[in-house]
Chains A and B, each alone.
Chain A
């Protein structure tokens, strides 16, 4: 829950960032392969000089290896001429780890095919015929083109499609899990099973907290699902006070499920709406790191006093879930940021590890030590770590050319 989200401010809307619009169409940090279809290449098996003056590298595949078996080419567009000098049909692949960057399949014995790929600096492996044959290496050295891109200030807009899509999948799965978890929790509330309802309160919130980085994008639902009593005129008695914390108050402060059935039903309706809403989120790339940074900062600045779950004292469970949701975002962006700011990438990894380890010390059974048992010094230490982490995260958008 975002303590600042009382009765709803309008969902935040930002203009598309300059960086997103920036014409970095001049190609990719990512490897983008040449667009010549296989059979076209196979029809024009003989080698021709290519226009644009790009390099042509000839590789001969013999029965057991590639000749040469170690290649070095400059970053950018490269054409490879693959000669099959073995006695069986072979394929030739450029691999980045286990991912095929580009390949030619089914090159008949005695035939030659060409392959064009746009390559980023780095070391790749090449396969040569049989799966058991030793692999070769392809070194791609920085070129004027790749350096210019680095200077252009960040990855091109297409580089953010993958991370944004992966985050969309994450939100889809978490919102489905929220609907399920809230369903179990409310069922216990409505069955009058106080002990079970209390036990399911913190777990039901986990998926909601993980979605924290985008909570500001559905502020109306956030207020209905997760607002605290103090945002309402009549506090706990206010009919507008609904959602998790209203149920928490009944269960933990009143020690009863009386009168909570309708509140439970409303929570279910609201999380179902949230799940629908998540489908249409269209996040700009800069919203990822900004949202993830904001929720970590909010723990340090506001939630650290335990005011969010003041009746249940389950705050550590929320903190862990919030951190997991932030880490998801950072893990998605780190591969893009690492080549541009290696120090930041390493700092983030280290600092997440430290905060996670600090929280892990409070694990107890399936959950956490009640937060009211955590002393002021320990809270202050945790807040400092969280603030440092948030400060590192605040550098992420700049590193990505998004701010």
Chain B
């Protein structure tokens, strides 16, 4: 995360746009059903957030794939985890582009012949080459395809109307995925950079929660506090493993911390799954 903050992620104009709807929060009294129109501004705001993340992803993927194609193993390894964070941050809505998600982020075991499968492409195929085989040999076509898929994703997002139920539901869906599979360290099994992904996943889910939180009534105050406390717990654990330029490898996570993390993620998944219903999108 520190790396990203120091990087130029776009024009000042864009940053100003990103704050565009900050002052349009609508307060809803206790128990009032949420007016559908009140959801418009946070959905719009979320799309602007995603657009910014995808812009970062395009820039970072270009640098990453350039390093792969230049045969610079050390640089490519160093860029692998930071490049992925903007993708992981928008993973709550990966269901909206499932074909590209499979091309960009599927794991070897989604494919019949695992690492040997010609359909295994994207970040994790390149990760396998870089970290397992310690080489960029044969990776250039995968680098080109990843870049093309990321550019297609940017195009797709630009013209996509975001379905509000998918946006609101996405916060829980991603936490469920972390709880069910990612927590085992399966995602970045060759590089063990899972903590980078986790931070981005939590940030991405939390963004959704924060955008819609103002629409919740006073009756939901306890719910809001509980969700915020669990996000804080998760952040605190991840903070322990931060290094100067990112995170320690996943195997450094102690059993005790993994347990706390796992419990918090499960609770977040459970709690956030009620958000759609609370906002009238059940």
Given contacts A35-B274, A166-B162, 8 further A-B contacts (CB under 8 A): A35-B273, A158-B281, A161-B37, A162-B43, A165-B43, A165-B44, A169-B48, A179-B13
Selected interface stretch from B137-145, B174-182, B199-207: B174-182
Q: In the complex, what residues of A have CB within 8 A of residue B99's CB?
A: 98
Contact call B13/A168, Cβ cutoff below 8 A:
no
Selected interface stretch from A3-11, A279-287, A341-349, A366-374: A279-287
Q: In the complex, what residues of B have CB within 8 A of residue A180's CB?
A: 13
Q: In the complex, what residues of A have CB within 8 A of residue B273's CB?
A: 35, 37
* Residues of chain A at interface, number, CB under 8 A: 45
Per-residue CB contact flags for chain B residues 145-188 toward chain A (1 = under 8 Å, else 0) read 00000000000000001111110010010001101110000000
Q: What is the interface of chain B, defined by CB distance below 8 A to chain A?
A: 13, 16-17, 20-21, 23-24, 36-37, 39-41, 43-44, 47-48, 51, 95-100, 102, 106, 109-112, 117, 119, 161-166, 169, 172, 176-177, 179-181, 266, 269-270, 273-274, 276-277, 280-282
| Given contact pairs A35-B273, A39-B179, A165 touches B162 in the complex (Cβ within 8 A) | yes
Partner of A130, one of B96, B112, B165: B112
Contact call B165/A280, Cβ cutoff below 8 A:
no
Complex CA distance for A169 and B159, rounded to whole angstroms: 11
Contact call B37/A282, Cβ cutoff below 8 A:
yes
Q: In the complex, what residues of B have CB within 8 A of residue A106's CB?
A: 180-181
Per-residue CB contact flags for chain A residues 193-234 toward chain B (1 = under 8 Å, else 0) read 000000000000000000000000000000000000000000
Please name 17 pairs of A and B residues whose Cβ atoms are closer than 8 Å in the assembled complex, sorted by A.
A20-B36, A35-B273, A98-B99, A99-B95, A106-B180, A106-B181, A132-B117, A161-B36, A163-B161, A165-B43, A165-B44, A165-B161, A169-B44, A172-B48, A176-B16, A179-B13, A282-B41
Contact call B180/A38, Cβ cutoff below 8 A:
yes
Closest to B51 in A: A169
Complex CA distance for A20 and B277, rounded to whole angstroms: 19
Q: In the complex, what residues of A have CB within 8 A of residue B24's CB?
A: 279-280, 282
Contact call A95/B47, Cβ cutoff below 8 A:
no
For residue A148, CB closer than 8 A to chain B, the reply is no
Q: With both chains docked as a complex, state the minimum distance between the C-beta of B125 and any C-beta of chain A, in angstroms.
A: 13
Q: What is the interface of chain A, defined by CB distance below 8 A to chain B?
A: 20, 30, 32-33, 35, 37-40, 42, 88, 93, 95, 98-100, 103, 105-106, 130-132, 157-158, 160-166, 168-169, 172-173, 176, 179-180, 279-280, 282-284, 332, 335
Q: With both chains docked as a complex, state the minimum distance between the C-beta of A28 and any C-beta of chain B, in angstroms.
A: 9
Partner of A103, one of B13, B95, B270: B95
Closest to A63 in B: B112
Max chain B C-beta neighbours (<10 A), residue from A88, A162, A176, A180: A162
Complex CA distance for A251 and B217, rounded to whole angstroms: 55
Max chain B C-beta neighbours (<10 A), residue from A37, A38, A103, A165: A165
Contact call A88/B44, Cβ cutoff below 8 A:
no
Closest to A32 in B: B165
Complex CA distance for A165 and B48, rounded to whole angstroms: 10
Contact call A282/B266, Cβ cutoff below 8 A:
no
Complex CA distance for A21 and B21, rounded to whole angstroms: 25
Closest to A130 in B: B112
Q: In the complex, what residues of B have CB within 8 A of residue A40's CB?
A: 270
Contact call B270/A37, Cβ cutoff below 8 A:
yes
Complex CA distance for A98 and B157, rounded to whole angstroms: 13
| Given contact pairs A39-B180, A98-B98, A168 touches B37 in the complex (Cβ within 8 A) | no
Q: With both chains docked as a complex, state the minimum distance between the C-beta of B76 and any C-beta of chain A, in angstroms.
A: 25
Q: In the complex, what residues of A have CB within 8 A of residue B280's CB?
A: 158
Contact call B119/A332, Cβ cutoff below 8 A:
no
Q: In the complex, what residues of A have CB within 8 A of residue B176's CB?
A: 37-39, 105
Complex CA distance for A66 and B99, rounded to whole angstroms: 20
Closest to B26 in A: A282
Q: In the complex, what residues of B have CB within 8 A of residue A99's CB?
A: 95-98, 163, 166
Closest to A168 in B: B44
Contact call A176/B17, Cβ cutoff below 8 A:
yes
Q: In the complex, what residues of B have CB within 8 A of residue A33's CB?
A: 165, 169
Contact call B164/A130, Cβ cutoff below 8 A:
no
Q: With both chains docked as a complex, state the minimum distance between the C-beta of B16 and any C-beta of chain A, in angstroms.
A: 8
Contact call B44/A172, Cβ cutoff below 8 A:
yes
Q: In the complex, what residues of B have CB within 8 A of residue A166's CB?
A: 44, 47, 161-162
Q: With both chains docked as a complex, state the minimum distance between the C-beta of A112 and any C-beta of chain B, in angstroms.
A: 16
Contact call B106/A131, Cβ cutoff below 8 A:
yes
Complex CA distance for A157 and B99, rounded to whole angstroms: 30
Complex CA distance for A131 and B16, rounded to whole angstroms: 41
Q: With both chains docked as a complex, state the minimum distance between the C-beta of A272 and any C-beta of chain B, in angstroms.
A: 11
The 4 closest A-B pairs by CB, nearest first: A165-B43, A100-B95, A168-B44, A37-B273
Q: In the complex, what residues of B have CB within 8 A of residue A20's CB?
A: 36-37
Q: In the complex, what residues of B have CB within 8 A of residue A164's CB?
A: 37, 40
Complex CA distance for A125 and B20, rounded to whole angstroms: 38
| Given contact pairs A103-B95, A130-B111, A131-B110, A35 touches B282 in the complex (Cβ within 8 A) | yes
Partner of B172, one of A32, A37, A105, A162: A37
Complex CA distance for A98 and B176, rounded to whole angstroms: 21
Q: In the complex, what residues of B have CB within 8 A of residue A176's CB?
A: 13, 16-17
Contact call B17/A173, Cβ cutoff below 8 A:
yes
Contact call B21/A279, Cβ cutoff below 8 A:
yes
Complex CA distance for A350 and B180, rounded to whole angstroms: 48
Complex CA distance for A132 and B112, rounded to whole angstroms: 7
Q: In the complex, what residues of A have CB within 8 A of residue B48's CB?
A: 169, 172
Closest to B34 in A: A158
| Given contact pairs A99-B98, A168-B44, A162 touches B111 in the complex (Cβ within 8 A) | no
Contact call A39/B266, Cβ cutoff below 8 A:
yes
Q: With both chains docked as a complex, state the minimum distance between the C-beta of A133 and any C-beta of chain B, in angstroms.
A: 8
Q: In the complex, what residues of B have CB within 8 A of residue A132's CB?
A: 111-112, 117, 119
Q: In the complex, what residues of B have CB within 8 A of residue A282's CB?
A: 24, 37, 40-41
Closest to A34 in B: B282
Q: In the complex, what residues of A have CB within 8 A of residue B162's CB?
A: 162, 165-166
Q: In the complex, what residues of A have CB within 8 A of residue B96's CB?
A: 98-100
| Given contact pairs A39-B269, A130-B112, A173-B17, A158 touches B164 in the complex (Cβ within 8 A) | yes
Q: In the complex, what residues of A have CB within 8 A of residue B109's CB?
A: 88
Complex CA distance for A33 and B172, rounded to whole angstroms: 13
Complex CA distance for A165 and B36, rounded to whole angstroms: 11
Q: With both chains docked as a complex, state the minimum distance between the C-beta of B58 and any C-beta of chain A, in angstroms.
A: 17
